[in-house]
Chains A and B, each alone.
Chain A
Amino acid sequence: KAGVTQTPRYLIKTRGQQVTLSCSPISGHRSVSWYQQTPGQGLQFLFEYFSETQRNKGNFPGRFSGRQFSNSRSEMNVSTLELGDSALYLCASSSGGWGNTEAFFGQGTRLTVV
C-alpha cells in the first residue's frame, strides 16, 4: 500500500508569491491534515479535511488555505509569501473521522521563501 505522497519535495519561492502544495493520502483514507514544522515553533496544526469539508483550522492567517477533492487528495495554498513561511509542510492522512485513529505522514514539502 502506497504511503502519503507529497509534491513537490522542495520549493524555493520569492517573497510575495503564492504557492500550492499537493498531498495524496493513503488509499481509502478520507481525512487529511496539514502541519507546519519550523525549528522555532515546532509542529503546528494548519487544518483538517474530511470528505471535502474543512472541519477545523489552526491559528494561522487567512493567507493559508486548503481544499480536498472528491478522491481525498488535498492541496494547500499560501498566498503573499513571507520569509517566515519557510518551513517543512507535512500532510497526514488517517482512515477514520475520529480522533482515535493514527495519522500517517508524508515526507513533507520543504518550502524556502527568499
Chain B
Amino acid sequence: AQSVAQPEDQVNVAEGNPLTVKCTYSVSGNPYLFWYVQYPNRGLQFLLKYITGDNLVKGSYGFEAEFNKSQTSFHLKKPSALVSDSALYFCAVRATTGGGADGLTFGKGTHLIIQP
C-alpha cells in the first residue's frame, strides 16, 4: 500500500521569505511524485512532478521540489513567497508499477498562508 504524509496542517510564511512544504511518502518500489495546489472552491492544479532523473524538479509559478530517495521525501519549495501563493497544497504518489492504473494517493494537504 502507498501513503503520503504531510506533517504540517498549516505553514505560515512572511511575503518575500522562502517557503517549504514538507512531504514524505511510502510506496513499493520507485515512486512517481506530484504536487498540486487547490484554491477555494476549485479543483486541483498541477504544479510539478518527479518521474526520474534530476532530483530537483522545477514547476509552475516558481515552485520547485527536491526528491530525496533515502529520506523518502519530496518537499515543495519556493525562494520568495507571494501572498497569492496562499492556498491548500497536496502531495501525491503513485507507484511506478501498475501500468498507470493505480490512482494517486494524496496527503491530507497543507494550508500555506503567506502574510503581507
Which B residues, 42 to 65, have Cβ-Cβ distances below 8 Å to chain A? 42-46, 49, 51
Give the complex CA separation of A104 and B102 in angstroms.
Answer: 16
Are B108 and A99 in touch, CB under 8 angstroms?
Answer: no
Main secondary structure of the interface of B (DSSP, over half): loop
A75 in contact (CB, < 8 A): no
Interface size on B, residues (CB 8 A): 27
Beta-carbon contact of B43 and A107 below 8 Å: yes
In the complex, whether B116 has a CB less than 8 A from a CB of chain A is: no
Contacts of A55 on B, CB cut-off 8 Å? 99-101
Q: How far is the CA of A100 from the CA of B106 in the complex (A)?
A: 15
Assembled-state Cα–Cα distance A4/B94 (Å): 21
Q: Pick from B32, B90, B105: contact of A100, CB below 8 A.
A: B32
Asked if A106 CB lies within 8 Å of chain B CBs, one says yes
Min CB gap A58→B, angstroms? 6
Chain A residue numbers with a CB within 8 Å of B94 are: 99
Decide: A99 and B90 in contact? CB cutoff 8 A. Answer: no
Specify which chain B residues have a CB less than 8 angstroms from the CB of A6 in the assembled complex: 43
The interface residues of chain B lying within 8 Å CB-to-CB of A102 are: 34, 46, 49
New contact pairs (8) apart from A103-B46, A107-B43, CB-CB < 8 Å: A45-B104, A55-B101, A56-B103, A99-B96, A101-B100, A103-B34, A105-B46, A107-B41
Nearest 6 pairs of A and B residues by beta carbon:
A45-B103, A55-B101, A105-B43, A43-B106, A98-B100, A99-B100
Question: B-contacting residues of A (Cβ < 8 Å)?
Answer: 4, 6, 31, 33, 35, 42-48, 50, 55-56, 58, 90, 92, 96-108
What are 19 of the A-B contact pairs (CB < 8 Å)?
A6-B43, A33-B103, A43-B90, A43-B106, A46-B103, A47-B103, A48-B102, A50-B100, A56-B101, A56-B102, A90-B43, A96-B100, A99-B94, A100-B49, A100-B100, A102-B34, A103-B104, A105-B36, A105-B46
